[in-house]
Structure 1
Amino acid sequence: MASPILLALVPSQGPTAGGNTVTIIGIGLSGATSVLFGGTPAITYTVQFDGAIIATVPAGTGTVPVTVTTPGGTSNSLNYTYQAAVAPVILALVPPFGLGVGGVPVLIVGNHLTSATAVLFGSTPATSFTVLGDGAILATSPPGSGTVSVTVVSPAGVSNPAAFTYI
């Protein structure tokens, strides 16, 4: 029985906190007895078929070698890079104003918006919000008055403020 061969990690990077899943693509992965990220075992892993394993990444830092061990031996290694989470950034609000009664759909354009856990208009949460992708969120304004700062909250931090004016 030959040692397994690793061909790709999808994705090959993720957060330092771990907990995300990675698909390990290779040859001879059936019967895997361990999946290591550096010297740390994967939180869990499941052999999908001889050519793929889905592994839950442990916490870590930097770039580490990923290996799979089977009864045939230990595979070659592929690099996995841990990346620090980045706080969201707001570039624009469209529109930057709305009715005082709320209910206005507001497109928040920016970066690093995927992991948003809240959208605040001043200290009031948006009535609802939908993450459209890393660069956009569609939020519904709550009732309010005056000019308030809109911010996006994520596990990595709070975004810069963007002005929203109630009319």
Structure 2
Amino acid sequence: MAINKITKYALESRAVELRSKDKSHAEIAQTLSSESKQDIATSSVQRFFASHEKAKVQAVEKSDKLKAKVAEAEINTIDEAMACIDELKDICKKAKKEGDYRTAVQAIEKVYTGLDIINKVLGKYQTTPQVQFNFQEVNIDATRDKVVSRINSIAARIGTNEDSE
């Protein structure tokens, strides 16, 4: 199959740009021909956009399949985490029955930690970004004034030493 002239002469982005401005295939062919000094036919523009649309559809299909796989993996991870939490709950119950309250408390702490992690993964908690201020940058003027004052006092002392001689 022959390479489309739009692809051959690397005019893809310009063709897409013209199309986004609602130019017809004939107008795009004329503009590309004049700008590239190549003969670009309207049929070449039509074939380019037909293959371009087909490629977009395929990309979306791949993206949807990938999203489905990611979602499935997340569900499996959450299922595994919940199974671990269930085991910790069982350990806690068993430890309480046996009077081992220290182990029971430790298991409860791990259950809550696990539930907290799952809630974060599920987006139940929204974290706000923490803002830090650098006060060294804020106080640059004060520092500069101190340095200038110090330089002036040194210059004044040097000047008085020279005057006294």
Give the structure-1-normalised TM-score.
Answer: 0.22
Report the structure, 1 or 2, having the larger helix content.
2
Larger RCO of the pair (alpha carbons < 8 Å, separation 6+): 1
Q: State the structure with more CA Rg.
A: 2
